[in-house]
Structure 1
Amino acid sequence: MEHLARLYPAHLDELQNRTKAALSRSGYEALAIHVGQPRGIFLDDNPYPFKPNPHFKQWLPVVDNPHCWVIVNGEDKPKLLFYRPVDFWHKVADVPSDYWSEHFDIVLIDSADAAAKALPDNKGRVAYIGEHLEYAKSLGFSDCNPAPVLNYLHYHRAYKTEWELACMRKANAIAVKGHLAARDAFMAGNSEFAINQAYLSATEQGENDLPYGNIVALNRHGAILHYMHFDRAVQPQNRSFLIDAGASFNGFSADITRTYAREENAFAELISAVNALQKDLVAALKPGLKYADLHHQCHLGIAAILKDVGVIHCDGETALETGINRAFFPHGLGHHLGLQVHDVGGFMADDYGTPQPAPAKHPFLRTTRTVEAGNVLTIEPGLYFIDSLLEEVASGSHSDLVNWDKVESFKPYGGIRIEDNVIVHQDGLENMTRKLGLA
């Protein structure tokens, strides 16, 4: 905690500078950043799980207390409206006393009415940042989430402060504990549900603490990219295991994927080949590299693996040109990571919001930006045997380029994905995930 306390003032200074620049560009006097409020379930007296506005949690590590606000203008001490109702039904948040609290003018509020009175009077000159637009307008805000402000803030969110990096290292450390426990549960022959429970127990995080829903897939389920079913039944044979699961710390995310084979066989060799490719792609990350170029390099690497094991009969460029490769690797190589798992700003050419979309051949690529120091990126090559995509190839004009007997032999194993979280420094790389001992 002392380490975070030392880093926090510089983090706050950077956010103040970004705010000042965004306000200067847009003409507003301040930002009113709303953490959000619970949304009720239809015809029910329970709310959906609460998720805080990422703009709010970038300023301070409060991720579970709705109805709060941060008022900032880039110069004055930030103002925090902190919600503490009189409530005997639910746990009320403690009065802030952690290291970050001294950097805010804190006003305790106990109701929406109290918040309305504590907000700035000149709401026509203050931009509302949040998702509850009707509520904001009822309070008198005329401008909600103005594009010039969001474009500037979203673009610069790709450059992490040292405090943010420290939080992300901690999130990775928590997630790695879960991955090791899940691997052991798989090797012990457990069900998907039991493996997920082992993960949650090891991380000491509940499902709403996690940055996204865990993917815990045995056998053919590994071919479903976002499989989140958690089968309760123990499988007659646990051939393979794909786990894509993260953790959160102070609102910052880890996003890690691993794939395992139960036996030393051809699929285990395929995992080793994808793992080696993933390490090579990480090593290629550097400031000045276009991420889309690395994605193209990944496609060539996947094609080389497929050719080496006899799944395809052509070189990488032919596999890409014919579309065959995208049947085996349909998603993007990775994405920016931070306050959100798929962090914002990936398709922006500049902080004015000039679009830089994914290339037509790679529509699911999640960032097209040039890699720069201070970025945190995931690198996650994949190789899958997905029925619907393979059927398209089988019925097309290039079916003869695929060894369908080989494809059938790999289908029972589902697929492979290997994902690390990597900090790009000016003078090198920091693979947070492998640094923590996850091979």
Structure 2
Amino acid sequence: MNSTDISYAGHLAGLQCEAEAALARSGFDALLIASGVEKYAFLDDRPYLFQPNPHFKHWLPLTNHPCSWIVVRPGHKPRVVYYQPDDYWHVPPSDPSGEWVQHVELVVISEPGDAVDHLKLPGRLAIVGEADAALGEFKPNNPPELLNLLHWRRACKSGWELGQMRAASRRAAPGHIAARDAFLAGASEIEIHRAYLEATGHTDRDLPYSNIVALNEHCAVLHYQYQDTQRPAESRSFLIDAGAQVNGYASDITRTWSRGDDADFGALLAAMEQAQLALVDEVRNGVDYRDIHLSTHRRVAQILSTQGIVRNMSAEAIVTEGVSSTFFPHGIGHLLGLQVHDIGGFMATEEGGTLPKPAGHPFLRLTRPLQPGMVVTIEPGLYFIPTLLKKLRATPAGANVDWAKVEHLARFGGIRIEDDVACRAEGAPENLTRDAFAVLPG
């Protein structure tokens, strides 16, 4: 994929070229991609939020279009079967519009079954989608030999894709500032969440993932899933993990804030900020992402030692004896793009296989060497998680922990700082997140 051509036409041409090569190598004559169908709650007529097949939105900037299809044939424009029902219960998809229309063979249908006549092609068909997207004889077979080739290449973004991801960061950044200001004003978690939505122009329906909006001790819950309606008596700390979406591409940003009136937590937050920026700088072409994860543990260990949280242990011992994993129990990040945790992160080659996670680090989501065009998150954390601290206290290494300091810092929950970072062919990476914050007024 060409990361210097920022046009949608160039992006589509690259996808067509890759698809044709994958079809030839895997022995198929054409590729059918189903957008997916709406799913309903058990014994109910209430649908879940529609989530499109990521392969569908890789080709088209359409995220809310069930029962549609893309037909890819060598030597032909992509055929788009666009489902537009005549519906008065819900707002149907609008008339096809946008730059993509001029680059495809467009067919508009009003009934899902009408797609069948436009999917009939000679030869062996690769059909990509969920099982429930099947339409008559056209049942998804998701051939692994073809999907491996597509997933391997999807990790490296085209110039057009990088543009969408920059825009997604720019959309999210004002939300983070609004959320910070609401926190400093003493708002509740739900009030902070609403401030974020208003500033980004999002609703809960179209966020790329559910926002994590955590105050005080809640900052220690890695995937905190609630939003308290009550304002806390004292707002000491605030962690927000929230992204935005543009044309199906996500940003994924985390910031941690405090009121600045506690010296110990302030020093810890400053040290993590410095470490995070240093880790971002490690995103270079050819670097094994696993090495960045292990580097994070060394940096967290040094912070634990320097801040006096763990004493009488070298940074190396803090890592090797698993102490750093108590305070930093997750991975340093993941691929980002059409999915927040984008696919293909463990692939050994374009033909498949798996690159293992480092021993003792089960939650890392990316093990591949970095390549130009990859966008990854860099999100080191340092948390005071009661269940993990209890286990550490029962080990010999627990004797080296300043438990009084831990008890004090546990009132703040924890810290995570996350940027979205694009790997370049040469030199320093592009920090999509910091660039987005840098252009905000004030």
Report the TM range for the smaller structure's normalisation.
over 0.9
Shift of 1:121: 4.1
Which letter maps to 1:284? E
Q: Answer yes or no: is the 8 Å Cα contact 1:127–1:143 preserved in 2.
A: yes
Which letter maps to 1:276? Q
Aligned to 2:228: 231
Task: Give me the whole-angstrom Cα distance separating, in 2, the residues matched to 1:177 and 1:372.
Answer: 30
Query: Identity rate of aligned residues, in percent?
Result: 46
Shift of 1:401: 2.1
Aligned to 1:212: 209
Q: Answer yes or no: is the 8 Å Cα contact 2:190–2:229 preserved in 1.
A: yes
Aligned to 1:27: 27
Task: Give me the whole-angstrom Cα distance separating, in 1, the residues matched to 2:329 and 2:347.
Answer: 23
Q: Write the mapping of 1:375-386 to structure 2, written as runs, cut at 5 A.
A: 375-386=374-385
RMSD of aligned Cα (Å): 1.6
Structure 2 residue 353 is matched with structure 1 residue 354: yes
Q: Write the mapping of 1:192-211 to structure 2, written as runs, cut at 5 A.
A: 192-211=189-208
Structure 2 residue 43 is matched with structure 1 residue 46: no
Aligned to 2:294: 296
Task: Give me the whole-angstrom Cα distance separating, in 2, the residues matched to 1:74 and 1:200.
Answer: 43
Shift of 1:372: 1.2
Shift of 1:343: 0.5
3-state SS of 1:378 partner: strand
**Which blocks of at least 5 consecutive residues in structure 2 are unaligned?**
none
Shift of 1:269: 1.4
Q: Answer yes or no: is the 8 Å Cα contact 1:334–1:380 preserved in 2.
A: yes
3-state SS of 2:278 partner: helix
Aligned to 2:96: 96
From the superposition, tell whether residues 214 and 142 of structure 1 become closer, same or farther in structure 2 (CA, over 3 Å): closer
Aligned to 1:279: 277
Structure 2 residue 28 is matched with structure 1 residue 64: no
Structure 2 residue 265 is matched with structure 1 residue 267: yes
Aligned to 2:166: 169
Task: Give me the whole-angstrom Cα distance separating, in 1, the residues matched to 2:17 and 2:315.
Answer: 46
Which letter maps to 2:169? N
Shift of 1:208: 1.9
From the superposition, tell whether residues 6 and 268 of structure 1 become closer, same or farther in structure 2 (CA, over 3 Å): closer
Task: Give me the whole-angstrom Cα distance separating, in 2, the residues matched to 1:53 and 1:271.
Answer: 39
Task: Give me the whole-angstrom Cα distance separating, in 1, the residues matched to 2:40 and 2:69.
Answer: 20
Aligned to 2:316: 317
Q: Answer yes or no: is the 8 Å Cα contact 1:5–1:100 preserved in 2.
A: no
Shift of 1:74: 4.1
Q: Answer yes or no: is the 8 Å Cα contact 1:192–1:216 preserved in 2.
A: yes
Structure 2 residue 251 is matched with structure 1 residue 254: yes
Shift of 1:5: 11
Aligned to 1:110: 110
Residues 182-202 of structure 1, C-alpha deviation per residue, up to 9 Å, x if partnerless? 000000000000000000011
- State the TM-score, normalized to the length of structure 2: 0.95
Shift of 1:357: 2.1
Task: Give me the whole-angstrom Cα distance separating, in 2, the residues matched to 1:414 and 1:47.
Answer: 36
3-state SS of 1:151 partner: helix
Shift of 1:119: 1.3
3-state SS of 1:107 partner: strand
Which letter maps to 1:148? E
Which letter maps to 1:372? Q
Task: Give me the whole-angstrom Cα distance separating, in 1, the residues matched to 2:5 and 2:435.
Answer: 23
From the superposition, tell whether residues 309 and 100 of structure 1 become closer, same or farther in structure 2 (CA, over 3 Å): same
Task: Give me the whole-angstrom Cα distance separating, in 1, the residues matched to 2:315 and 2:5.
Answer: 49
Structure 2 residue 323 is matched with structure 1 residue 335: no
**Which blocks of at least 5 consecutive residues in structure 1 are unaligned?**
none
Aligned to 1:77: 77
Q: Answer yes or no: is the 8 Å Cα contact 2:6–2:159 preserved in 1.
A: no
Task: Give me the whole-angstrom Cα distance separating, in 2, the residues matched to 1:207 and 1:140.
Answer: 36
Aligned residues: 433
Q: Answer yes or no: is the 8 Å Cα contact 2:207–2:245 preserved in 1.
A: yes
Consecutive aligned runs of 4 or more in structure 1 exceeding 3 Å deviation: none
Which letter maps to 2:278? D
Q: Answer yes or no: is the 8 Å Cα contact 2:18–2:150 preserved in 1.
A: yes
Task: Give me the whole-angstrom Cα distance separating, in 2, the residues matched to 1:361 and 1:319.
Answer: 14
From the superposition, tell whether residues 155 and 108 of structure 1 become closer, same or farther in structure 2 (CA, over 3 Å): same
Aligned to 2:344: 345
- State the TM-score, normalized to the length of structure 1: 0.96
Q: Answer yes or no: is the 8 Å Cα contact 1:23–1:73 preserved in 2.
A: no
Q: Which of these residues, 173, 177, 180, is aligned with residue 177 of structure 2?
A: 180
Q: Answer yes or no: is the 8 Å Cα contact 1:5–1:99 preserved in 2.
A: no
Q: Answer yes or no: is the 8 Å Cα contact 1:175–1:203 preserved in 2.
A: yes
Task: Give me the whole-angstrom Cα distance separating, in 2, the residues matched to 1:317 and 1:290.
Answer: 20
Shift of 1:88: 1.5
Shift of 1:264: 3.2
